[in-house]
Structure 1
């Protein structure tokens, strides 16, 4: 059984995770902008806005932080593997 990782694949995963951070930021910006410019009234809007500004955005912020942390970790481990392997 082999343990470890392919440094190139690990680095690519790190880059992919970092790229997804911009997708999350764009999603939050788009929803904020759309809510602000939509003529939507009533209790459904109020509920959505409360949840969006509460738990939904908090969850997306945590996901963004997790992607950033995992992405940095993948890239650092890839670099370390390359160093150890002499590559």
Structure 2
């Protein structure tokens, strides 16, 4: 009979790493936003770039960070559930 499940410690570790990846993306997104704000750059190209950053790029990074956070929580919940089922 086949066993289904996961190594609980590895699954917890995966959850932690996914959430850490989320935090790192948020940190980098914020650092890049600050760098862009502090860059002395004027004109239509600067306006277009800043608009694209705010409207597209920063939002895309935020969505990836949110997805990683949720995936990390899901993996951690699965590990907890499997641990409880094993008792």
Q: If the TM-score is normalised by the length of the shorter chain, which range does it land in?
A: 0.7 to 0.9
Structure 1 stretches of at least 4 aligned residues deviating more than 6 Å after TM superposition: none
Q: Which runs of 5+ in 1 are unaligned?
A: none
Number of aligned residue pairs: give it: 86
Aligned residue for 2:38? Answer: 37
Aligned residue for 2:60? Answer: 59
Aligned residue for 1:10? Answer: 11
TM-score (norm 1): 0.85
The two structures, once aligned, show a CA RMSD in angstroms of: 1.6
Q: Which runs of 5+ in 2 are unaligned?
A: none
Aligned residue for 2:74? Answer: 73
Task: Provide the C-alpha distance between the structure 2 equivalents of 1:2 and 1:39, rounded to a whole number of angstroms.
Answer: 60
